[in-house]
Amino acid sequence: MEELERLKERLRRKVVVDEDLEFLKRVDLLSDFIKLDPESGPIMEHVEDRLNQRERILFYLFCVKAGKALDLWDRETACVEEIAGKLGLKEKVVHARVSELMKRGLVVNVGAEKAMYKITNYGVLKVAEEVLGKLRR
């Protein structure tokens, strides 16, 4: 019985993903492009000319999640109006791009009364893989 418990513990350490730790590692990788202001929210630097609209929205939601993970604010979601205002896009454009991101499983709507969007774990992986590559060029 003791051997079984030791094996379980060893396997837990080996195969169970600590999502918080993995996410913060990705935040660290992207830290040259992220500034988080507790009062005004995410500030994405030098991304407009390197990322398309979908990628910018996804990266913004990544930054919102990063602020929550670092205890700078209490939410990991954003509404269309906020995203549009922060990224300088029209709300209609944000609606369309968010819909595309949702179809790809990168973003989910978690709002009950008002649509509030958050990045999925799959979305986090895509930011780390694709967006980071474009930003480093």
Rounded average pLDDT over 77-89: 96
pLDDT at 18 over 80: no
Rounded average pLDDT over 94-123: 95
Query: What was the pLDDT predicted at 105?
Result: 96
Instruction: Please give the single-letter amino acid code of residue 47.
Output: V
Rounded average pLDDT over 96-115: 95
Q: For each of the domains in the chain, give its residue range(s) and CATH number, in order of start.
A: 2-136 (1.10.10.10)
Rounded average pLDDT over 59-88: 95
Rounded average pLDDT over 110-121: 92
Specify whether the CB–CB gap between 30 and 135 falls below 8 A. yes
Question: Considering only 41-50, 71-80, 102-111, which range has the smallest mean pLDDT?
Answer: 41-50
121 C-beta neighbours (distance < 10 Å), count: 13
